[in-house]
Amino acid sequence: MHNVLDISNLSIGYRGKDGKPIPVAENLNFSLKQGEFVSVVGANGIGKSTLLRTLAGVQRKLSGEVLINGKPMGSLTPQELASSLSIVLTEPLPTRNLTVRELISLGRQPYTNWLGTLTLEDTEIVADSIRKTGLEALEERKCYELSDGQLQKVLIARALAQDTPVMMLDEPTTHLDLYHKVQVLKTMKEIAREFGKTVIYTTHEIDLAIQLCDQMLILDSSGHHFGPPCQHIEDRSFQRLFPSDLIGFDSRTGTFKIKN
Ligand SMILES: Nc1ncnc2c1ncn2[C@@H]1O[C@H](COP(=O)(O)OP(=O)(O)OP(=O)(O)O)[C@@H](O)[C@H]1O
């Protein structure tokens, strides 16, 4: 499988009022292949959302290079970028007045004409995204009537409808109960497998990520570590993720345990 994202010497962060860079993470190097299901984990404030936002072009990188299918991200037009990658952020929706189906249909925007008219193919893709996320019963409901967990699924369905080779999701399962977390993650993994899409998401549910992901990017104070979960377990990377006074990582079960 070929690389769809190549990240080299990437620095991410913000700029102060004087324009000086305030780095959050530096010298990031990793590549994502077609069809991989990848998570980004790390403590609060370490830079997971900043990384995803930078990779999606929502915020500027400080330095380094991001290649999408071999092309520098900066060289893509907004239209090309929108048909290359989709992103689900944690920010509140600008409008919740749309129905579930209308909101999911917005995912087709990069492909529709300026009137936003959906073709038969667009309508089929929208219906398929609704089916894959199990939202059939909510299709005609207004978004303001939904619970946070239901809305989270709708946003994932909108990204699915965008039908891009790369899907990025910032904490997509935060509001879901355990059963629906696993359901959504398994759906995302199936999408990666079946349709050869690359799915990258940020999460605090490390034990689920260990069970499901092909690759994990760990951000910690010492830098970043990229590889399959078993390699991180072998390298004891999870042990270094948090201070050891309260919790410890059990390599046998792949879970964190509370210390007595
Ligand atoms: N708009 C902003 N301007 C300046 N600094 C910011 C801005 N947004 C976030 N930061 C800082 O960047 C750092 C990384 O934040 P980020 O939201 O990427 O972390 P995170 O790993 O996603 O955290 P969490 O797990 O809590 O969601 C934090 O120190 C945060 O305070």
Q: Pull the structure tokens for residue 145.
A: 């009537």
Predicted confidence (pLDDT) per residue in 22-69, tens digit: 999 999 999 999 999 999 999 999 999 999 999 999 999 999 999 999
- Residue 189 has what pLDDT? 94
Provide, rounded to the nearest whole percent, the portion of the chain with pLDDT above 90.
68
Q: Delimit the domains of the chain by residue range.
A: 96-160
**Band of the pLDDT at 246, cuts 50, 70, 90?**
very high
Residue nearest to atom 26 of ligand 1 (CA): 44
- The values of phi and psi at residue 106, to 5°, are -60, -25
pTM (two decimals): 0.91
Q: Which DSSP state fits 2?
A: -
Pocket test for ligand 1, best of 15, 50, 53 (most atoms within 8 A of CB): 50
Sign of CA dihedral 43, 47, 52, 58: positive
When pLDDT is cut at 50, 70 and 90, the band that residue 218 belongs to is very high
Q: If you search the block for the tokens 């978004």, which residue do you land on?
A: 143
Residue 117 has a pLDDT of: 81
pLDDT at 114 over 70: no
d(CA 219, ligand 1 centre) in Å: 13
Partners of 87 in the beta sheet?
168
Q: Does ligand 1 have an atom closer than 6 angstroms to the CB of 50?
A: yes
Written as six digits, the tokens of 49 are 């959302």
- Average pLDDT on 4-10 reads 97
| 136 C-alpha to ligand 1 centroid (Å) | 35
Q: For residue 20, how far is its CA from the centre of ligand 1 (angstroms)?
A: 17
42 Cβ inside 6 Å of ligand 1 = yes
Residue 8 reports pLDDT greater than 90 = yes
